[in-house]
Structure 1
Amino acid sequence: MKRKTRLLIIGIILFAGLIPTLRAQQIGLKTNLLYWGTTTPNAGLEFRMGKKWTLDVSGGYNPFTFSHHRKLKHWLVAPELRYWTCEAFSGHFFGLHGIGGEYNVNDIDIPIGRLKKLNNYRYEGYAIGAGLTYGYQWLLGKRWNLEASISGGFVHFDYDKFECAKCGKKIAEGKNDYFGVTKATLSLIYIIK
């Protein structure tokens, strides 16, 4: 798993290397308010690449362990290329995004489908995927915007499964492929320039 994590990090660094070449006319600094609902600090930068194109690079990091060894520890990076139907940072947009990260999850009660298992075991692993986005951005003021978006696509999970939160032995390894909602945002944005 460490080799795969290194490859993911190298890919993210290479992708981030493109950012200085964008010569953005506008940059938006953002945070996803919905993601904060999972106790995950997060931020993103969106760079204007042309009249109708932007590049959004967002990420989150959750280092917290809660009472009774509950945790939703993870880091996540999600770059997205966006096409705006009118003008960048205003109105409707469509996007193509990637997603990647690592996780360590235990005793999280989500009573939906496959996620029910998160309540009984601890899972560690990585995830990588891609998808399509639809969203809308409202102008709130000269420098403030509000964005809502929904994304759907594919995510591949590689994981190790453990008996209990702290001391449990590894009982399985596995892979899981997920098709469905990959991202939902309600983001507050500050336009830097």
Structure 2
Amino acid sequence: MSKIKKTLMSLGLLLALTPLAAQERSDTTYTFRFVPGRDMFYSPWKGNETELMRMEACVAEWKERILKGAIPVYVEGWCSSKQTKKENLAMAKIRSNRVKSELIVRQGLREDCFITKNHTTDGDYVTVSLKVPVEDTAKAEEAKAEERRIAAEKAKAEAARRAEEARIAAERAAEERRLAAEKAEAERIAREEEAGRAQEVANDSKPKATKKPEDYHFALRSNLLRWATLTPDLGVEWRVNPKWGILVDGSWTSWTWQDKDRRYALWEVTPEVRYYMGKEKRGYLGAMYKAGHFNYKLSDMGKLGDLMGGGLTGGYQLRLNNALSLDFSVALGCLHVDYEQYEVIEGVRVRAGKVTKNWWGPIDAGVTLVWKMF
């Protein structure tokens, strides 16, 4: 009889506890790892970013009840990498606050939503737990399973769509390559045919006895006669076309000797326009202008003044090779000179008179090296 009573009491107690079991809470726990000895919360480290996303999703789901205080958020910090228990406890506290800050900033929770506890053993991490009612958890899991199923179907459909797009793109690219190859082959054949026709024309044409006139070009010039008198000279020529050319030559020198009692100084600028004649365009006629300044003291009397004039030029260019030629030239015309005569007495230049002259005759000559640049 006593055994029957005990059995009935056990059954009654089990039935009484069944509703309570249905109200028990299940733990939803998230773990965040920290670098030993450091308190910074690195979200990309040790899977923290994934865990943070999972925790935010759960908090967002129960946020309303968390803010009302119905579901507390348990935060526990752990640290065992410091030297003393005090240091470990301080580090664990900072780490817990780091994790809570993420939820406060990202989800809008408050400090009173958390129940915090820190430990000085077992490693370097922080755990966050939400005790959600079992029945609510089951519903949430069902909803999440449905969401996952729908997401999986969408992902499958998206993958199929992308695969179809990739197949169409591959077919289009293959067709474009085929068309490009056909176009390149057609262009190659056309070039070969054109080259063949050009070669036939070249073979049929007879070589000419005379050389082709000079093409348009730009050349540097240097009068060797000037250099022979220790007067550096440099110029340029632009052949506008085979018949016409534009030149500018310039000279400059400055010499003193015998304790500056003797002097030879000069600068000149000579622009010129030429007309080339003949089949090879070697001979020419032209017009030139000259301006300059001089200071000569080759004896007891010195001359200091300016010169200006112009005239007609003529000459011939002797070709040395494809790039070099010698230009033999002479100019006839008028040269106007104004200069002062002076003597140097005890290092002081003393004026001895002024002279003005006009010279008719040869005013320039040159044996010039011409370098055709292009």
TM-score between the two structures when normalised by the length of structure 2: 0.40
Pairwise CA distance, 1:138 = 1.1
Tell me the distance in 2 between the aligned counterparts of 1:181 and 1:50: 28
Specify whether residues 87 and 124 from structure 1 end up closer, same or farther in structure 2 by C-alpha distance, changes over 3 A only. farther
Structure number with the bigger relative contact order (C-alpha 8 A, sep ≥ 6) is: 1
Tell me the distance in 1 between the aligned counterparts of 2:308 and 2:302: 19
User: For structure 1, which runs of at least 5 residues remain unmatched after alignment?
Assistant: 1-23, 108-118
Query: What is the CA deviation profile of residues 83-122 of structure 1, one whole-angstrom value per residue up to 9, with x for unaligned ones?
Result: 101368x421111000000011101xxxxxxxxxxx3411
Tell me, yes or no, if structure 1 residue 84 matches structure 2 residue 276: yes
**Segments of 4+ moved more than 6 angstroms:** none
Tell me, yes or no, if structure 1 residue 178 matches structure 2 residue 359: yes
Tell me, yes or no, if structure 1 residue 159 matches structure 2 residue 317: no
Identity of aligned residues (%): 28
Pairwise CA distance, 1:191 = 0.3
Point out the structure with the larger strand share: 1
What corresponds to 2:191 in structure 1?
none
Supply the AA of the counterpart residue of 1:170: R
Pairwise CA distance, 1:174 = 2.0
What corresponds to 2:309 in structure 1?
129
What corresponds to 1:50 in structure 2?
241
Number of positions where the alignment pairs a residue of Structure 1 with one of Structure 2:
158
Pairwise CA distance, 1:75 = 0.4
User: For structure 2, which runs of at least 5 residues remain unmatched after alignment?
Assistant: 1-214
Pairwise CA distance, 1:70 = 2.4
Higher Rg of the two aligned structures? 2
- 1:102 partner SS: strand
Aligned counterparts, 1:1-193, within 5 A: 25-67=216-258, 69-86=261-278, 90-107=281-298, 119-164=299-344, 166-193=347-374
Point out the structure with the larger helix share: 2
Tell me the distance in 2 between the aligned counterparts of 1:31 and 1:179: 25
Tell me the distance in 2 between the aligned counterparts of 1:77 and 1:168: 27
Pairwise CA distance, 1:129 = 0.1
Tell me the distance in 1 between the aligned counterparts of 2:334 and 2:364: 11
Tell me the distance in 2 between the aligned counterparts of 1:83 and 1:103: 30
Supply the AA of the counterpart residue of 1:131: G
